[in-house]
């Protein structure tokens, strides 16, 4: 399987009043085509920052200091860090998409579902929409044959506009026209075509009554429905990579199961790769092909799912598994707390809490090594 995304040595720092937060220290990730890579870790381990940084949306005051984010495009690898905003805007939403933890917060409360989902189509699928509109206009013109009527003139004019939009989408004339109140009604054709596509994708998300749902406001929908809308927005343009940041954490268990099923099904249909971020090992077991474990800004273990569950190597991973509540057994927690990333521990960041810490641990940062076939660990034990 070939690599779709290759993150090399990503370093992200946040410059705050309290100091410099070293959020990500040299993260290496590879996502292959069609696979689901899980990213596990506690809150504050840097999982979300990783996902946002892949899209070059690191929230300020964060900055990407070093590293490469290589995306495969047409046989070449492009380093996203060195691309300009215009390029990234084309990628976001159409080639790489993201879904978030709280669907209620991710949706704008003052715009309808139609408005928000159609936006994606209007930005990334303009050409296809224009063509459809033109077909519709031609039909209308044919139907109005014979006789002179204002409607015909308007239709002709609309045909001209859309033709121009097809050929030259950034034309200055169009930019001006879309600001003039009455004339810009021509856009309703575009919007109605986009709406059709929106209803279609909502239907694919297994949302009942999509025609009805499109006109609703997000706060009128349940959590599960909201998340489906968010997923619809993300998958609207069949992205090659979907970044899912704890999409089911805020949902109840039944809805969670439904959403997971949905994601799995869609992954098969659309053929996208998924980076699935979660702190729930159960979900990992269900959804992922390979898993990476993050702690305090670095990747500590990376392997495929079965191997991780059968034989976790890193002390942190082992502690995570041990901490899963099992009836009848005493609850095992991990000693200590997540370190402050302004002054992280030196060397291996886990060493203050590690039961197997050695003298070398606080001194040297362990590198990721392939300890067994396809199983990477960053620990001095190996």
Distance CA 204, CA 210 (A): 10
Burial track 340-358 (b if 16+ CB lie within 10 A, e otherwise)? ebeebeebbbbbbbbeebe
Considering the complex, state which of residue 23 and residue 293 has its C-beta at the smaller distance from other proteins.
23
| Cα 57 to Cα 345: distance, rounded to the nearest angstrom | 27
In the complex, the smallest distance separating the C-beta of residue 40 from other proteins, rounded to whole angstroms, is 22
Least CB distance to other proteins at residue 123 (A): 6
Query: Residue 61 CB, nearest distance to other proteins (Å)?
Result: 6
What is the nearest approach in angstroms of other proteins to the Cβ of residue 93? 4
Beta partners for residue 299, in sequence order: 294
Of the pair 148, 172, the CB lying nearest other proteins is at: 172
Q: In the bound complex, what is the minimum distance in angstroms from residue 324's beta carbon to other proteins?
A: 30
Rounded to 5°, the CA angle 10-41-67 comes to 0
115 versus 158: smaller Cβ distance to other proteins: 115
- Whole-number Å distance between alpha carbons of 115 and 92: 18
Helix axes 126-143, 187-204, angle to 10 degrees: 120
**Nearer Cβ to other proteins (250/382):** 250
Residue 152 backbone dihedrals phi, psi, to 5 degrees: -65, -40
- Partners of 311 in beta bridges: none
The site for other proteins (CB under 8 A) is made up of: 16-17, 52, 55, 57, 59, 61, 85, 88-94, 97-98, 100, 102, 105-111, 119-120, 123-124, 217, 219-220, 230, 233-234
CB 228 within 8 A of CB 258: no
Residue pair 266/243 in contact by the 8 Å Cβ criterion: no
Give the nearest distance from C-beta 105 to other proteins in angstroms. 3
Residue with smaller CB distance to other proteins, 92 or 290: 92
Tokens 């809805």 locate to 255
When the beta carbons of 230 and 266 are compared against other proteins, the nearer one is 230
CB neighbour list of residue 54: distance below 8 Å, 6 or more residues apart: 5, 7, 69, 80, 96, 243, 275
**Nearest distance in Å: CB 126, other proteins:** 12
Nearer to other proteins, 175 or 373 (CB): 175
């Amino acid at each position: 399987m070939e690599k779709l995304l290759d993150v090399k040595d990503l370093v992200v720092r946040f410059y705050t009043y309290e100091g410099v937060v070293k959020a990500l220290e040299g993260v290496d990730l590879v996502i292959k085509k069609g696979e689901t890579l899980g990213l596990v870790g506690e809150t504050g381990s840097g999982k979300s920052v990783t996902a946002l940084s892949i899209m070059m949306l690191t929230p300020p005051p964060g900055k990407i200091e070093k590293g490469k984010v290589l995306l495969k495009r047409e046989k070449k690898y492009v380093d996203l860090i060195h691309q300009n905003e215009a390029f990234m805007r084309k990628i976001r939403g159409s080639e790489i998409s993201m879904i978030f933890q709280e669907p209620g917060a991710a949706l704008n409360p003052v715009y309808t579902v139609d408005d928000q989902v159609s936006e994606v189509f209007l930005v990334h699928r303009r050409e296809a929409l224009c063509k459809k509109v033109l077909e519709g206009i031609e039909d209308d013109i044919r139907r109005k044959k014979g006789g002179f009527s204002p409607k015909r003139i308007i239709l002709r004019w609309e045909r001209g506009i859309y033709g121009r939009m097809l050929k030259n989408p950034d034309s200055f004339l169009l930019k001006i026209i879309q600001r003039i109140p009455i004339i810009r009604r021509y856009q309703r054709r575009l919007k109605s075509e986009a709406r059709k596509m929106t209803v279609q994708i909502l239907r694919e998300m297994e949302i009942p009554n999509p025609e009805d749902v499109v006109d609703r406001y997000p706060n009128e929908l349940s959590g599960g429905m909201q998340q489906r809308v968010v997923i619809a927005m993300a998958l609207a343009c069949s992205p090659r990579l979907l970044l899912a940041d704890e999409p089911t954490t805020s949902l109840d268990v039944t809805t969670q199961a439904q959403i997971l099923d949905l994601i799995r099904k869609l992954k098969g249909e659309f053929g996208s790769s998924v980076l699935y971020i979660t702190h729930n090992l159960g979900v990992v077991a269900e959804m992922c092909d390979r898993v990476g474990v993050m702690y305090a800004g670095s990747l500590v273990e990376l392997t495929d799912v079965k191997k991780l569950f059968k034989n976790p190597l890193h002390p942190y991973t082992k502690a995570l598994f041990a901490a899963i509540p099992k009836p009848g057994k005493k609850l095992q927690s991990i000693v200590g707390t997540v370190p402050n990333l302004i002054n992280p521990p030196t060397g291996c960041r886990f060493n203050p809490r590690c039961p197997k810490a050695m003298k070398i641990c606080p001194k040297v940062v362990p590198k990721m090594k392939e300890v067994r076939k396809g199983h990477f660990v960053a620990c001095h034990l190996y």
